[in-house]
């Protein structure tokens, strides 16, 4: 069965420190992979996505993620965290629906809540 695992429920880092959020997926085919951020009172915002090609993907707000097929991972990184990065981060895998070709539904991980210390 398809699944997404985010092993870390909470992560706390100091402002200016580097960050890595882990994501592992289980899916039989080539996955479409996404990272979203959810801030209180706001909708999920797309940080970056991987469909194919270069396995190192650059996103918004200075984030990047690397797709490693051998490890079934798509970890999110940022070299220097800002206080405004405190939020909930979700990894998702897109799988093609059985009913409509070309339509992809998402399976989300359980999320990682990031706290940033001043």
Partner 1 sequence: GAVVSQHPSWVICKSGTSVKIECRSLDFQATTMFWYRQFPKQSLMLMATSNEGSKATYEQGVEKDKFLINHASLTLSTLTVTSAHPEDSSFYICSASGRGGGDTQYFGPGTRLTVL
Local structure of residue 30 (DSSP, 8 states): P
Q: Which of 56, 55, 47, 118 is nearest to 81 (CA)?
A: 118
User: Looking at beta carbons only, is 51 or 83 nearer to partner 1?
Assistant: 51
CB of 108 to partner 1, least distance (A): 5
Half-sphere exposure of 107 (CA within 13 A, CB side): 17
Q: Are strands 87-96 and 112-117 parallel, antiparallel or unpaired?
A: antiparallel
What is the binding site for partner 1 (CB under 8 A)? 32, 34, 36, 41-46, 49, 51, 90, 94, 97, 99-100, 102-111, 113
């Amino acid at each position: 069965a398809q699944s997404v695992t985010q092993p870390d429920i909470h992560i706390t880092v100091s402002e200016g420190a580097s960050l890595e959020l882990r994501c592992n997926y289980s899916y039989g085919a080539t996955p479409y992979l996404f990272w979203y951020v959810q801030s209180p009172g706001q909708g999920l915002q797309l940080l970056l996505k991987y469909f194919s090609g270069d396995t190192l993907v650059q996103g918004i707000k200075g984030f990047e993620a690397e797709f490693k097929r051998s490890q079934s991972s798509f970890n999110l990184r940022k070299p220097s965290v800002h206080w405004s990065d405190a939020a909930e981060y979700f990894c998702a895998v897109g799988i093609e629906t059985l009913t409509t070709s070309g339509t992809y539904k998402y399976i989300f991980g359980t999320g990682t809540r990031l706290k940033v210390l001043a």
